[in-house]
A and B are shown apart, each in its own frame.
Chain A
Amino acid sequence: GAVVSQHPSWVICKSGTSVKIECRSLDFQATTMFWYRQFPKQSLMLMATSNEGSKATYEQGVEKDKFLINHASLTLSTLTVTSAHPEDSSFYICSAKGLAGAPYQETQYFGPGTRLLVL
């Protein structure tokens, strides 16, 4: 149980295009999903917390108009990198947390990540 998928796993795009990354909890409901970014040789950096049915909470220094997050259902959150530029090239990974009181509460279940390369 507790599987999280991410799509796509790889994306290469031209500068100026927008890229959408999907994060799905496959076998449990997740009211909360998290989006992280990892730069080379660095640890995971929390970008934002995505709550189903409400606006995402962004960490300091993360542009909400640049990284649009939508959490439309209990199993899907999307991250859209708008007008991507080469400096947005990175590894993006999501995680999901189960419903309060559920067996998956508190523990984060991670997707496999999406590697974005902006040319």
Chain B
Amino acid sequence: ILNVEQSPQSLHVQEGDSTNFTCSFPSSNFYALHWYRWETAKSPEALFVMTLNGDEKKKGRISATLNTKEGYSYLYIKGSQPEDSATYLCAPPNTNAGKSTFGDGTTLTVKP
């Protein structure tokens, strides 16, 4: 099982601010890492699948990086908008090699 930890637990930013948060994991047994966005009253939505050290993925204003040697992935949001308000979760995939253990997530609130 790849246990992940996310920080900070919550984040409040003003519209237009850029922000980032962290998903940490033990680097010794890394397989892959998924980022999800979970908006209130909606289904968690897959954002990125991170697999290789140095991976950098981007979707609009949101991007993610991966450092498997030091055991962390960063999620960046550039120019935050109120619609970015959500809980962002990271987790390894559910596979025969291990179970998807979700962290507590980072809850982002973007104030207009």
Contact = CB atoms under 8 A, between A and B. Distances in A.
A46 B100 contact: yes
A51 B46 CA distance: 21
- In terms of DSSP, what is the predominant structure of the interface of chain A? strand
Nearest to B46: A107
- In terms of DSSP, what is the predominant structure of the interface of chain B? loop
B103 A43 contact: yes
B100 A34 contact: yes
B94 A108 contact: yes
Given A4-B43, A49-B94, A108 B100 contact: yes
A4 B99 CA distance: 20
B89 interface: yes
B94 A32 contact: yes
Given A34-B94, A43-B89, A106 B102 contact: no
19 contacts: A32-B94, A34-B94, A43-B89, A43-B104, A46-B94, A95-B44, A97-B93, A97-B94, A106-B34, A106-B49, A106-B95, A107-B46, A107-B93, A108-B34, A108-B94, A109-B46, A110-B45, A112-B42, A113-B43
